[in-house]
Amino acid sequence: MRIKIRTKGIWLFVPLPAGLVSFAVRRMPDRMFEEMYEKTPEPYNCLLTRDFISMVLDECMEFIRENKGLEIIHVEAADGTFVSVKL
């Protein structure tokens, strides 16, 4: 996965291996999941658990590898801000 962010003063490029994403989710502190749980509306907050997110990532990993290079986010603002996320 490649993340690109460009603004007037910042140009950021972050290459992120797909395997590192699931590793990062496993290492996230429980407090982060609790904060996301509190901010999410009622029918969806039950999906914000470490186990569920890890399971979804594991299920999607084959798709991510098959579609390497697919741009899933592409945003260009009028002020020149640019955000891109590619698998």
Domain boundaries in the chain?
2-86
What distance in Å separates the CA atoms of residue 66 and residue 82, rounded to the nearest whole number?
26
In this prediction, residues 49-77 reach a mean pLDDT of 89
Q: Output the six-digit token pair for 28.
A: 């996230």
Q: Which residue has the higher pLDDT, 76 or 45?
A: 76
Using CA atoms of 49, 72, 24, 38 in order, give the dihedral in degrees to the nearest 10: -30
- pLDDT average, residue stretch 41-67: 88
pLDDT of residue 23: 85
Report residue 29: phi and psi, to 5°.
Answer: -70, 150
Query: Within a 13 Å sphere around the CA of 66, how many CA atoms are in the beta-carbon half?
Result: 5
